[in-house]
Amino acid sequence: MKKLRDLIQSPPIWVNPQHPVKMAVALMQSLHVDVLPVRDGDQVVGMVTARQVLTVAEEIPISQVMTTDALLLDGEMPIREAAAKMAEKGAEVAFVINDTLAGMVRAIDLIPEVSRSYDPLTKLPWQDALREWSIDKLRTGHEISILFFDIDRFGQFNKQYDHVTGDRVLEMVARTIERELDPDLTILCRYGGDEFAVATLYMSGEAQQLAARIAHRVEEIQLPRVRETISVSYGVFGGRRTREREMVHYAATVDDLIVRASRMCLQMKQRKGALAMLQLPLPGVEPEERTEPRVQVTGISFITQGKEAEAGVELAIGGLRTLKQVRGDVKQPPEELMVQAARDALTALVPGMGTVQVHHVSKVTVDLHEKNEKMDGVMVVVELQTASGNQLLSGFAPVRENVQRAAVNALLHALNRPLAKWLSQSQLSSSN
């Protein structure tokens, strides 16, 4: 992301308060400028303009005609933030400080940079601003997470109502996301169409909680004439690395994070669409044909004590049985701990299936339009790593008994096909 210092093209020229006016006039004429900073020692104490010096005697000291309300901005300030500061103060010029005076910028200098990546409808930057911000953070040693949002059934707002309503939905979603963000730790952009993206310094767990909270806030949006619930699908990726990156192409890293987050978002959207059309086989609804043997949930527990929570999951297959427990902070969503415990139990029970990495766990609500009902459930996205390659898989389970059991069922649903394939091959190998 470009900073103010990137706009400085020449070394700073200034005058002192004790200098006579004629020195300021000479400098302005030679440099073809109409304003100069006034510097006393290392401090910028004001500014003087052509209008102020051309109507007074040449020998008068600058201290008698200068103004002291000069706007000083840090050279590390992002250009968009600087433009907002200048607009707030009504300043046409600002002086850039990097420990000491570095130069001067005009409001007109900022316009090309600000308008280059600005969406006039949502008042958000476009994706190039997010990429620049992310590259800058990676380069300075920070780790980032990407949150990718896609408005569900956006086309129907344009078709069923009108494009004005569709534009209003985009504006309201943008403002809703924006209100949940810390500007010091995040950047929000309109990615394109009905998609938004957030880059943040939050690690994975915090980023997932933020995305779930935003999705919940979006569902609270109310618009006149709009009967349907406005909702978003989302994906979260990144924020997991605990060691420094070496020999990294930062732009490629950012692109990879965005692609992975957008894929997870797409999977959530596809699952919601399948549920809405009642095409998704849900856990707990027994299929007509069943692959034997099958993994069964034989016990779950969730206990809180003080600031600590413990999730336990027992799984069984044939005569084998495994119990795994995971501890975490009591503030952590219980569904996350349950999925971790279920993952550990499953990989211990069937170690040859591969490595399962949990990327995303959240509570979701889907609209069952044909039944005019809503369904609460848990969505899980995992990555299955095997010798033949990696797969991103997602699963959903409705909340029937409690959210803890739904979380375990969602993980099993995500891994249902590769698990059945592995068990079938294992059974075939043992029979031979």
Q: Which two tokens stand for residue 397?
A: 């389970």
d(Cα 64, Cα 21) in Å, to the nearest integer? Answer: 9
- Based on the fold, state whether residues 111 and 129 are members of the same structural domain: no
pLDDT given at position 74? 92
d(Cα 133, Cα 292) in Å, to the nearest integer? Answer: 51
- Within 10 angstroms of residue 273's Cβ, the number of other Cβ atoms is 15
In a domain, 290, yes or no: no
pLDDT given at position 371? 58
CATH number of residue 90's parent domain: 3.10.580.10
- Based on the fold, state whether residues 380 and 420 are members of the same structural domain: yes
In the chain, the number of structural domains is 3
pLDDT given at position 141? 87
pLDDT given at position 282? 42
- Within 10 angstroms of residue 29's Cβ, the number of other Cβ atoms is 10
In a domain, 246, yes or no: yes
In a domain, 284, yes or no: no
- Based on the fold, state whether residues 58 and 151 are members of the same structural domain: no
- Based on the fold, state whether residues 313 and 335 are members of the same structural domain: yes
CATH number of residue 183's parent domain: 3.30.70.270
Element (H, E) at 259: helix 250-276
Query: Which structural domain, as residue segments, surrounds residue 34?
Result: 4-116
Interaxial angle between packed helices 127-139 and 250-276, expressed in degrees from 0 to 180 and rounded to the nearest 10: 130
Question: Which of 228, 244, 276 represents a domain boundary (last residue)?
Answer: 276
- Based on the fold, state whether residues 88 and 188 are members of the same structural domain: no
pLDDT given at position 67? 94
Q: Single out the residue of 305, 352, 346, 355 nearest to residue 327, CA to CA.
A: 305
Query: Residue length, the chain?
Result: 432
pLDDT given at position 340? 92
* 330 and 308 Cβ atoms separated by less than 8 Å: yes
- Based on the fold, state whether residues 92 and 76 are members of the same structural domain: yes
pLDDT in tens, the chain (432 residues): 567 888 887 778 999 999 999 999 999 988 888 999 999 988 999 999 999 998 899 999 999 999 999 999 998 888 878 888 888 888 999 999 988 899 999 888 887 766 666 788 998 888 988 998 899 899 888 899 999 999 998 888 888 888 889 999 999 999 999 999 998 899 999 998 899 999 999 988 889 889 988 988 998 898 888 888 888 999 999 876 645 455 468 889 999 999 999 988 888 887 766 555 433 444 444 444 444 467 888 899 999 888 899 999 999 887 788 999 999 888 888 898 999 999 999 989 888 888 888 877 878 776 655 556 677 888 888 888 888 777 778 788 888 878 899 999 999 988 887 887 777 766 555 554
Supply the Cα-derived Rg of the chain in whole angstroms. 29
pLDDT given at position 310? 92
Question: At 294, is the secondary structure helix, strand, or coil?
Answer: coil
What CA–CA distances, in Å, run from 323 to 36, 320, 349, 416? 74, 11, 9, 20
pLDDT given at position 367? 61
